[in-house]
Amino acid sequence: MTPGAGTDRAESPVRPGGAPRRSEVSAGWLAFLLNVPTLAGLVLVLAYPICFAGYLSFHEVSIRHLRAGEFPFAGLANFSRLFQDDVFWLSLRHTVVFVVASVALEVVIGLAVALTISDERVWLSRVTRVLILIPWAVPPVVNGLLWSFIVNAQYGYLNRALHKLGLITDYVNWLGHPRLAMAAVIVAYVWRTTPFNILLYHAAIQGIPAQIYEAAAVDGASSWQSLWRLTLPILRPVIAVTLILRRRVMRADVTPSPCPLPHWGRGKSHARRT
């Protein structure tokens, strides 16, 4: 073997499509196989009930039909009765108001608190950061009971505080008022769920390199411009993830919170789709 031949063999590039490509394919198949149990669980838990509910929506369903196991075809009759029901449209409107208001407050308050505790100029002890997460650790039923003591019309702490400050003369029935009931429930829900957003936003902000803000400061960018041009665009994927997660979790934990609140659910002013 001549020295030139050995040099050519050592410097020959790796042929494309060789072992690295086969390892990538095997890794992809491994990832797919590992996700099969999760996908199967999602199909059984989510896809099948949704498809079966869609099937039942076009058929007559009653206790007699459930016992017989036969569901006569009804066509669009169920949808016709649904769209003619005033309570359905009222509950749909309340649901939209609740979701939009609560999610918007979660994002705005969560970002504000996360930016505050992430600022090096703001001193916050570890105990304070732990206290911020306590509302998120409170179970939904306990959260409802806690706020029932706060907004109770007869002995609530909120009425007592406002009365001593001279802001109200008579106690307000927060949960019995057509307009204030929804606001009270939104506040109780946002108080519990906002720490979840704070935790994710704070972790994402800590991962932003400081060199980016230093370069922006050198270019003459103000703090407000850095927020809108750097921080928010970088946090956009995290905000999208929190919106998706909050929408899924909302189905599970939004209903227990208002249940312990007195007078909640009485009358059409509290109608809400679940």
Number of domains in the chain: 2
Query: Where is the domain boundary, 51, 84, 117?
Result: 84
Q: How far apart are the first and last CA of the chain?
A: 79
Same domain, 50 and 108: no
Same domain, 80 and 30: yes
Task: Say what the pLDDT of residue 271 is.
Answer: 55
CA angle centred on 100, ends 131 and 56, rounded to 5°: 115
Same domain, 23 and 79: yes
Residues 129, 132, 133, 135, Cα dihedral to 10°: 160
Range(s) of the domain holding residue 80: 17-84
DSSP class of 73: B
CB atoms within 10 A of CB 111: 20
Same domain, 80 and 92: no
How far is residue 253's CA from residue 268's CA, in Å, rounded to a whole number? Answer: 22
Same domain, 264 and 219: yes
Query: Where is the domain boundary, 44, 64, 84?
Result: 84
Asked whether residue 9 is domain-assigned, the answer is no
Task: Say what the pLDDT of residue 261 is.
Answer: 53
Q: Are 188 and 261 in contact (CB under 8 A)?
A: yes
| CATH classification at residue 205 | 1.10.3720.10
> Residue 73 forms beta bridges with which residues?
59
Task: Say what the pLDDT of residue 247 is.
Answer: 63
Query: Where is the domain boundary, 84, 101, 128?
Result: 84
Asked whether residue 1 is domain-assigned, the answer is no
Asked whether residue 234 is domain-assigned, the answer is yes
Asked whether residue 5 is domain-assigned, the answer is no
Q: Tell me the residue ranges of DSSP E strands in 55-177.
A: none
3-state secondary structure 12-55: CCCCCCCHHHHHHHHHHHHHHHHHHHHHHHHHHHHHHHHHHHHH
Asked whether residue 244 is domain-assigned, the answer is yes
Task: Say what the pLDDT of residue 108 is.
Answer: 93
Task: Say what the pLDDT of residue 176 is.
Answer: 84
Asked whether residue 4 is domain-assigned, the answer is no
- What average pLDDT values come out for the chain (274 residues) when binned by 10 residues? 50 51 65 86 85 89 81 88 90 89 92 85 73 83 86 87 88 85 89 89 88 86 86 90 71 52 52 52
Asked whether residue 174 is domain-assigned, the answer is yes
**Within 13 Å of residue 190, how many CA atoms lie on the same side as its CB?**
19
Same domain, 226 and 159: yes
CB atoms within 10 A of CB 84: 9
Task: Say what the pLDDT of residue 253 is.
Answer: 54
Same domain, 137 and 257: yes
Residues with Cβ within 8 Å of residue 42, at least 6 apart in sequence: none
Same domain, 209 and 272: yes
Residues 135, 203, 27, 37, Cα dihedral to 10°: 10
How far is residue 17's CA from residue 196's CA, in Å, rounded to a whole number? Answer: 45
How far is residue 130's CA from residue 117's CA, in Å, rounded to a whole number? Answer: 12
Same domain, 168 and 273: yes
DSSP for 135-174, please give it.
HHHS-HHHHHHHHHHHH-TTT-HHHHHHHHTTS-SS---T
DSSP for 179-215, please give it.
THHHHHHHHHHHHHHHHHHHHHHHHHHHTS-HHHHHH
Same domain, 136 and 255: yes
How far is residue 148's CA from residue 175's CA, in Å, rounded to a whole number? Answer: 9
Same domain, 80 and 174: no
| Residues comprising the chain, all counted | 274
Same domain, 142 and 267: yes
Asked whether residue 39 is domain-assigned, the answer is yes
